[in-house]
Amino acid sequence: MYKNAVTLTDFLLEDERKNDKTTLGLTILLHQIENVTKIIAAHVKASGLVDIIGATGKTNVFGDQVQKLDEFSNKLLFDMLKSTGQVHALVSEEMEKEVIVENSKGDYIVYFDPLDGSSNVESNIPIGTIFSIYHKDGGLLQKGNKQIAAGYVLYGSSVIFVYTSGSGVNGFTLDPGIGAFLLSHPDIKIPKEGKIYSINEAYEPTFDRKLQNYLKNLKNGDSVARYVGTLAADAHRTFIKGGIFLHPASSKNPEGKLRLMLEVNPFAFLTFQAGGIALGANNKNPLSITPKHIHVRSPFVMGSPKNAKAYLSFQ
């Protein structure tokens, strides 16, 4: 038991030793994200209890002030990332403006969505944390291909931490018994093809004709539909089982709904690193887009090479 276990901490230190692009500062940052997401995971697991134990309105199961899980997660990430001394600026999906950390000598900018899919919490449906790290020298509005590292944590049937620093994608599952993330999915590669397509079909009437024809064609084949409504969950399933995930532009969201810097770019980076294909506006590589502002939105398609090519044949 555990004799071959590799913890995320071991892996980060080894990555720093082997990979000259991975500095001590980045290792400290990723390790702190690991620490934060363990705390969030504990709160997510107990979130169903808050209304019972937190009924007094004073404290919840952890003795914290009862507050919405996404506000709690956002503040925790801010405070713990700032405390590393490695951060020049922080950008959260929960906050309109970036935060430049006062008097920081930190080299990094961290974009994060503290609780992706938070509207799913009360339904006990998986939710996630997404992060994307840039070097500060490029400023706040860098192309996604300048990301130094990106990843997500999925709070599902188990808690898994998946990240890339440009040398492949690796997944670590939290062992609650020892409170460590253990390497469970080394070198994740997306299957070349998959049967699953994932899209919110409630918006079908708002899609353009080409996309409507693509979806009609899928229904005449042997595809199956799966849609969680949490990007981290739908993307993770796509990495593991293959297929395609789409959150396209529509007449309702002409620019797309997902945030380029906070959702699309981290998952596009991971997708390419896992051997898949990611598409953004005009079905171009989203990592080559220069963002106009920190919350700019983008259409997003990611998936297995064969599934992405079949989608493109309808464009």
Binding site for ligand P6P (CB under 6 A): 116-117, 119, 200, 229-231, 234, 247, 257
The 99-100 sheet, strands edge to edge: 99-100, 87-92, 108-116, 127-135, 149-155, 159-164, 169-175, 180-185
Q: Which is nearer to ligand P6P, 15 or 113 (CB)?
A: 113
Query: Closest CB to ligand P6P among 14 and 204?
Result: 204
Distance of CA 148 to the CA centre of its chain: 15
Per DSSP, the three-state class of 40 is helix
Residue closer to ligand P6P, measured from CB, 264 or 277: 264
Residue identified by tokens 């405390």 is 83
What positions carry a catalytic annotation? 64, 70, 93-94, 113, 115-116, 263
Smallest distance from the beta carbon of 201 to ligand P6P, in angstroms? 10
16/116 with CB nearer ligand P6P: 116
Q: Supply the minimum distance, in Å, between the C-beta of residue 187 and ligand P6P.
A: 25
Look up residue 200 and give its two tokens.
């919110």
Q: How far is the CB of 13 from ligand P6P (least distance, A)?
A: 31
Least separation in angstroms between residue 55's CB and ligand P6P is: 27
What order do you get walking across the sheet with 224-225 strand by strand?
224-225, 196-198, 244-247, 300-303, 277-279
CA distance 233 to 261: 18
With respect to ligand P6P, which residue has the nearer C-beta, 218 or 231?
Answer: 231
Cβ atoms of 136 and 109 within 8 Å: the answer is yes
The amino acid that residue 55 corresponds to is A
We find the least distance from the C-beta atom of residue 130 to ligand P6P, in angstroms, to be 8
User: What is the CB neighbour count within 10 angstroms for residue 145?
Assistant: 14
Place of tokens 């930190």: 106
